[in-house]
Structure 1
Amino acid sequence: MSEKRAREEAPGVGGDAAGLPAKRPHEADEPTCPFLHTVDRSRLDFDAQHVCSVTMSPVNVYACLVCGSFFRGKSATTPAHAHSLDSGHQVFMRLKDGTAWCLPDGYAVRDPSLNDIRMALLPLLSTSRLRRPR
């Protein structure tokens, strides 16, 4: 067996004892969101006006992915942060760009299970779908 292959198969080097592949360096630093199971897709309505339900501001608006309400900001003094503390809802999506956040902890959530929500918020069509019918 080659030395490289022996290192790849050895537990603790390039993988774990169960034989799972090692995480890429950027994945090791990203926390996983333990609250994704609370997301309720049936309550989301991105056709509604994108304004904060507290301040009526259209700037820096986030959707609560648990109840569907819109709130401004994500820092400690904002309605979105207060909503996360008051209601226990932790998963939010920035309406401007579709990035997901876990509040009040304030870290970005990068999980493919949210891609369908992101596509509903910001639908992308290929040029073939935009062609005129013949």
Structure 2
Amino acid sequence: MLDDGEWFECECGQFTHMGMLCCHTLKVMDYVGMKEMRKRHILKRWTKYARDILPQHLAHFKRNQVVNKSFTCRSSTLYLHAMELVRLGDASVTTYELVLVRLKDMIAEVSPLAETRDGIGFEDRQAAEANHNNIALAGAIVN
């Protein structure tokens, strides 16, 4: 215990390494009767505000971004609705045929529109991440 209980440090080094208090420190805090964590032990990366400190390739996850432009929101919403169609379409031959026809019509209608990408779709993010990983790998090979 350092600074009159404002800071705890254990020789196991878990807080230094991972930014989380170890069980030893938690036990000492319990033993001395502490009822709440000191703000000094709550690192930003473990809070909901960690989105402010993201690297550039994850910037679309930052706080105060338009949620509907996030590929995760769009992908998740579309996926959930598509799975609902699969569930309903599997109920009978009639529903299967109707859902399949409508899906094929929708694919034909949407395909031309999907040729113009806004750069934040799921495939765009995958490509950006793959490119980022390739650059990092190339840098590691050169060094």
Bin for the TM-score computed over the shorter chain: under 0.3
What TM-score comes out, normalization by structure 1 length? 0.25
Higher helix proportion:
2
What TM-score comes out, normalization by structure 2 length? 0.24
Higher strand proportion:
1
